[in-house]
Amino acid sequence: MSFGDIIKTFLEFLAVIAVITGFVHEKKLIAFENKMWAKFKARKENKNKNAYQNDKVIPITQAKPQKTETASKLADSINEDAEAIIYDINNRLNISV
């Protein structure tokens, strides 16, 4: 017998044992399948609910106005980061500005 035949025989033996165990513990197996199916359905329903909630549009009356001070600080931070990146690129390429 070759190594492949030994592995095949071993897997067939395990399959027979699994089938016999399934017949003996059929009620437990069915309960486990039902529990897993319920979890799967609940997870799928939650994903669908979240997808529909994300599509909802907030009325203008509920929207909070943005503070301009925060926006200007963010813009300054972005400009500083951009300047630092450009400076770093210029240094790596040995370009004088």
Written as tens digits, the pLDDT of the chain (97 aa) is 799 999 999 999 999 999 999 889 889 888 989 999 999 988 888 776 665 565 555 555 555 555 555 666 767 777 778 888 887 777 777 765 5
What is the domain partition of the chain in residue ranges?
3-93
Q: Are 84 and 76 in contact (CB under 8 A)?
A: no
Integer Cα distance of 21 and 32 in angstroms = 14
Integer Cα distance of 1 and 62 in angstroms = 76
Helix (H, G, I), strand (E, B) or coil at 94: coil
Does the reported pTM lie above 0.75?
A: no
